[in-house]
Amino acid sequence: MPNQPKDAWDKFDLISKFVATVVFAAIAGCYTWQQSSAEKARQARNAEVETLSKFMPYLTGTDEVAKETALLAMGRIASKEFMASIATRYPSAGSVNALKKASAEASSTATEKKLVEAALVATQKRYLIGKQYSFGVRGSGADDVDIPPGATLALVEPKDLKDPAIAQYFTDVSPDGKQGLMARLNPKTLYLACRYDSSMISYLKTHLVTVRNPKDPTRSVQAKVVEKGPPPRPEYTDYVAAISPEVATRLGIKKGEEVEILLDVN
């Protein structure tokens, strides 16, 4: 009987040592796993930085086929998530095509497809390409001079003309005597209407957009979006923009030819 307490303490000591060993091993294993995960994350970041620097000339260049190829390569070298994030930062025809192809690749997982498809939606909100025509007042040389009397603008209100940066796009009175801000647009300035997404309204009210000739990307201008359009008329169903005569002249494009619009490049 006197030995029982000793046996109890001996058992407790053995159990304590065993538990301590298991806990220590678990902590050590967790630490090793964390270190390994941190190292893998660091290596992945380094790979992304190296990949981005290698392909940057193609991302910022004007060759859309090369850009598409570079983005697809980035998806394979780094990750599709990384490629998708870069494509949305550099919206263009090459970016859109790369995202479409990446989403359709058989090797893409369900998670990757979801990420790429979300990036495609985001990119297409910021980038437009399609047919255009010019619009303006009579005598401006515009393709369409049929401006309704009293026509307003979706992104500019009369009070906005107090700002010289906005007022520069308008004449004091309409050259053809019509009322309304649309009829007062100065055809010698760089304005346009396009099919922007409603989520872009706040941005477009305070920023210019890049408009360029897809056949010659060196011909590019910064222009003010003043209206959503073209109007819902049968002849303009497949058009994405209506531009000022001055924009058309600087880009060297005619009615029905394609135009590229980068709504947000930040």
pLDDT tens digit sequence for 50-102? 777 888 898 888 889 999 999 999 888 888 999 999 999 889 899 999 999 99
Residues 85 and 152 in one domain: no
Residue 81 lies in a domain: yes
**What one-character DSSP code corresponds to residue 257?**
S
Residues 89 and 134 in one domain: no
pLDDT tens digit sequence for 21-58? 655 655 655 556 555 555 565 665 666 667 778 888 98
| Count of domains for the chain | 2
How far is the CA of 74 from the CAs of 62, 85, 123, 203, in angstroms? 18, 11, 17, 30
Q: For residue 25, how many C-alpha atoms fall within 13 Å in the half-sphere facing its CB? A: 6
Residue 118 lies in a domain: no
User: Contact at 8 Å (CB) between 63 and 78?
Assistant: no
| Residue closest to 59 by CA, chosen among 82, 90, 81 | 90
Sole residue written with tokens 């309204």: 201
User: Max CA-CA distance within the chain?
Assistant: 118
Among 47, 80, 108, where does a domain finish?
A: 108
pTM over 0.75: no
Task: Tell me the residue range of the domain where 28 lies.
Answer: 1-108
